[in-house]
């Protein structure tokens, strides 16, 4: 029995599609904090909502904020997913990796939780006026069931950017997010 030969057709299709529209942008990911600490089953259960933000932050593009406040997309690079979903995933992974919570989940998981973590992206961009990557997230820890805000805080980190290009910008934003994630994990786990 002979198997169909799909490889040549696949290569032709890939070559045809590859020629359309020029080079594809580089795709960048963001890192979560590594596993650390001893696991404990006595911690709280947290549901992490997807962050909200102004429309440019809802995309998968790397944003540049010019001196006058105008926003543009940095050519040649994109995030591995929509920015809010990517940040939500890295917050969840970082909290899980801390080993201090009973459970960490998304709202759609239908897991009973003690608190919901609600966040807003205030800045996640390269600022040309200062030459920095800026990550600024506002978070609220809301008691599940009552809607009472148990705690609220703004987390900010700034990292110098060597040059305004996709690779340098993505690396600097990733470093700034790792700093913010460390602060968020400490805050959620200890209240400080």
In a domain, 74, yes or no: yes
In a domain, 138, yes or no: yes
Confidence of residue 192 (pLDDT cuts 50, 70, 90): low
Which pTM value belongs to this model?
A: 0.85
Lowest model confidence (mean pLDDT) among 14-18, 57-61, 174-178: 14-18
E strands within 84-148? 103-105, 115-127, 132-143
Neighbours of 151 (CB within 10 A): 14
Question: Domain holding 127: CATH number?
Answer: 3.40.50.10610
Q: Which two tokens stand for residue 4?
A: 């169909």
In a domain, 24, yes or no: no
**pLDDT tens readout for residues 126-146:** 999 999 999 999 999 999 788
In a domain, 59, yes or no: yes
Q: How many domains in the chain?
A: 1
Q: Are 181 and 92 in contact (CB under 8 A)?
A: no
Nearest residue to 171 via CA among 186, 180, 160: 160
**pLDDT confidence of residue 21:** 54
**pLDDT tens readout for residues 65-100:** 998 889 999 999 999 999 999 999 999 999 999 999
Which residue segment(s) compose the domain that 58 sits in? 39-190
Mean pLDDT, range 166-185, rounded to an integer: 97
């Amino acid at each position: 029995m002979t198997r169909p030969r799909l490889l040549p057709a696949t290569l032709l299709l890939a070559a045809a599609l590859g020629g359309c529209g020029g080079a594809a942008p580089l795709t960048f990911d963001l890192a979560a904090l590594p596993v650390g600490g001893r696991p404990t089953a006595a911690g709280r259960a947290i549901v992490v909502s997807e962050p909200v933000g102004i429309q440019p932050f809802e995309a998968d593009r790397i944003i540049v904020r010019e001196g006058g406040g105008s926003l543009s997309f940095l050519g040649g690079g994109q995030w591995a997913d929509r920015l809010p979903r990517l940040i939500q995933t890295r917050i969840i992974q970082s909290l899980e990796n801390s080993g201090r919570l009973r459970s960490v989940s998304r709202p759609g998981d239908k897991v009973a939780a003690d608190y919901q973590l609600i966040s807003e992206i205030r800045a996640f961009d390269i600022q040309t006026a200062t030459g920095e990557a800026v990550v600024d997230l506002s978070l609220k820890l809301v008691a599940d069931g009552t809607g009472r805000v148990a705690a609220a805080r703004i987390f900010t980190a700034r990292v110098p950017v060597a040059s305004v290009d996709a690779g340098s910008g993505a690396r600097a934003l990733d470093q700034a997010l790792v700093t913010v994630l460390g602060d968020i994990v400490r805050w959620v786990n200890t209240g400080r």
